[in-house]
């Protein structure tokens, strides 16, 4: 029996196997609205046989977008656009769907990656003023963000809750909060980006306060039988930054607050990061977080081999594996993994004749 293809239940959600499609920004929305690209992209991933499809980082406010082409969920128009996409995907796939809710903080207002990804100034038609815990730019020489005051914090917390309410209305099966990769919630956690001297900065307890407030607001409004998870960076990979011990403490606080799973990525906050990139390079972070919490942990990052993924779950280094580039390159990866590991996936009737033995 393959460990990778052993079902798992989180809350009321049944996962048919341990393969999670990680969130992937497409930078293809217009005014925050999904369009046919998202239907094609999410639609083909929804036929992949994975256990869960996670919608890309979705901004809870217009100024929380990384780029002007990010997906949003802040008003009727953005909600309707996601609703149309989901209706199309759901018509042909039963795969559970999660959405990653996000605010980019000081990493907002940039050009799309394939046009260089540079900061766009507020005066430009495609740019806006960035906000963050402190007025510290993400890269020396970049324009600094505006430090959030009490009103700004409350507005962002409420925007996360409002987006969660819209997601609930859309029938989204689970929410993932983006607390990783140097975006706003991570900016509060890391001492490198959070230089506040009020109760939201300084000690670890204070730096965790705003992300935990956001989590509580989302958990309160999203239906209790649907999971809420958090994606974290397990380390900044910078001396004196956010590290794995602090991640374990944060994960334990999240678990106590009712979090259903943690998804452990890393980095993205500081240009001095030195990441030992290689196959499974973030798996040890997930394994360490698992020593601190009882909720499922998802590992991600250069997981591409069938035996590699099988071993991660079988040896309990993580409960599930997240795939991003791997499944973009091979959207039938779970089919191929199942064939290799002697398991099965649900394939659409229209594609049944593709089985090699059935010709």
Ligand X SMILES: Cc1cc2nc3c(=O)[nH]c(=O)nc-3n(C[C@H](O)[C@H](O)[C@H](O)COP(=O)(O)O)c2cc1C
Tokens found for residue 259: 């979090």
Distance CA 217, CA 164 (A): 9
Minimal distance, residue 322 CB to ligand X, in Å: 6
Does 112 bind ligand X (CB under 6 A)? Our answer is no
d(C-alpha 306, C-alpha 111), whole Å: 36
To the nearest whole angstrom, how small is the minimum distance from the Cβ of residue 71 to ligand X?
9
Among 38, 65, 178, 207, binds ligand X (CB under 6 A): 178
Pull the structure tokens for residue 56.
Answer: 């890309």
How many residues line the site for ligand X (CB under 6 A)?
20
Q: Is 300 in the site for ligand X (CB under 6 A)?
A: yes
**183 belongs to the catalytic site:** yes
Distance from C-alpha of 96 to C-alpha of 199, rounded to nearest angstrom: 38
Candidate ranges 3-11, 39-47, 217-225, 324-332; the one touching ligand X (CB under 6 A): 324-332
Q: Supply the DSSP symbol for 144.
A: P
Nearer to ligand X, 147 or 328 (CB): 328
User: How many CA within 13 A on the CB side of residue 244?
Assistant: 14
Supply the minimum distance, in Å, between the C-beta of residue 203 and ligand X.
Answer: 27
Which helix H or strand E contains 106, and what residues bound it? none
Identify the DSSP state of 209. Answer: H
Give min distance, CB of 334 to ligand X, in A.
13
x/- map, 229-268, ligand X, by CB under 6 A: --x---------------------------------x---
Residue selected from 181, 209, 226, 270 as contacting ligand X according to rule CB under 6 A? 181
Q: Does 325 bind ligand X (CB under 6 A)?
A: yes
Q: Is residue 338 a contact residue for ligand X (CB under 6 A)? A: no
Could you say which residues in the range 53-92 bind ligand X, by CB under 6 A? 56-57
Task: Indicate which residue of 27, 183, 281, 329 is catalytic.
Answer: 183
State which of residues 100, 110, 138, 233 lies at the interface with ligand X (CB under 6 A). Answer: 100
Q: Where are the beta strands (DSSP E) in the chain?
A: 8-10, 13-15, 19-21, 52-59, 97-102, 131-132, 146-147, 174-179, 228-233, 261-265, 297-300, 320-323
* Options 3, 4, 17, 23; binder of ligand X; rule CB under 6 A: 23
Say if strands 52-59 and 97-102 run parallel, antiparallel, or are unpaired: parallel
Nearer to ligand X, 13 or 324 (CB): 324
| Site stretch for ligand X (CB under 6 A), options 19-27, 44-52, 235-243, 247-255 | 19-27
| DSSP one-letter code for 307 | H
Q: Tell me how far, at minimum, the Cβ of 268 lies from ligand X, in Å.
A: 9
* Contact by Cβ (8 Å): 217, 255: no
Q: Check binding of 301 to ligand X (CB under 6 A).
A: yes
Q: If you count them, how many residues does the chain have?
A: 359
Pairing of strands 261-265, 297-300: parallel
Specify the residue, 135 or 244, whose C-beta has the smaller distance to ligand X: 244
180 binds ligand X (CB under 6 A): yes
Stretch that binds ligand X, among 129-137, 205-213, 216-224, 323-331 (CB under 6 A): 323-331
Residue 40, interface with ligand X (CB under 6 A)? Answer: no
> Which of 326, 331, 337, 345 is the binder for ligand X (CB under 6 A)?
326
Cβ neighbourhood burial of 315 (10 Å; 0-12, 13-18, 19+): exposed
Nearest to 135 by CA among 180, 170, 187, 175: 187
Look at residues 236, 235, 233 and name the one whose alpha carbon lies nearest to residue 262.
Answer: 233
Pairing of strands 97-102, 174-179: parallel
Which spans of this chain sit near ligand X (rule: CB under 6 A)? 22-25, 56-57, 100, 178, 180-181, 231, 265, 300-303, 323-326
Catalytically active residues, by annotation: 183
């Amino acid at each position: 029996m393959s460990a990778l293809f052993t079902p798992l239940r989180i809350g009321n959600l049944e996962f048919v196997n341990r393969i999670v499609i990680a969130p992937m920004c497409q930078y293809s929305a217009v005014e925050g609205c999904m369009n046919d690209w998202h239907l094609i992209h999410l639609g083909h991933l929804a036929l992949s046989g994975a256990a869960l499809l996670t919608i890309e980082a979705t901004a809870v406010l217009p100024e929380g977008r990384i780029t002007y082409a990010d997906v949003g969920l802040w008003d009727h128009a953005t909600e309707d656009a996601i609703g149309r996409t989901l209706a199309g995907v759901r018509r042909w796939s039963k795969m559970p769907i999660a959405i990653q809710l996000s605010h980019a903080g000081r990493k907002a207002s940039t050009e799309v990656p394939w046009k260089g990804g540079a900061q766009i100034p507020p005066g430009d038609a495609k740019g806006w003023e960035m906000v963050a815990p402190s007025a510290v730019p993400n890269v020396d020489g970049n324009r600094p963000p505006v430090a959030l005051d009490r009103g700004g914090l409350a507005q962002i917390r409420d925007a996360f809750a409002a987006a969660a309410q819209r997601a609930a209305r859309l029938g989204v099966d689970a929410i993932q909060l983006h607390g990783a990769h140097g975006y706003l919630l991570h900016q509060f956690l890391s001492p490198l980006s959070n230089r506040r001297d009020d109760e939201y900065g300084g000690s670890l307890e204070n730096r965790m306060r705003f992300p935990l407030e956001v989590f509580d607001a989302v958990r309160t409004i999203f239906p209790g039988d649907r999971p809420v998870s958090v994606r974290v960076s397990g380390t900044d990979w910078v001396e004196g930054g956010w590290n794995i011990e602090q991640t374990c403490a944060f994960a334990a606080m999240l678990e106590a607050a009712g979090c259903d799973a943690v998804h452990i990525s890393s980095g993205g906050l500081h240009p001095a990061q030195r990441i030992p990139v290689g196959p499974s390079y973030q798996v040890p972070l997930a394994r360490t977080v698992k020593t601190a919490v009882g909720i499922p942990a998802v590992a991600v990052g250069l997981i591409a081999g069938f035996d590699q993924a099988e071993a991660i779950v079988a040896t309990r280094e993580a409960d599930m594996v997240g795939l991003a580039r791997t499944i973009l390159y091979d959207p039938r990866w779970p089919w191929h993994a199942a064939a290799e590991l002697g398991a099965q996936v649900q394939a659409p009737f229209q594609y049944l004749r593709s089985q090699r033995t059935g010709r």
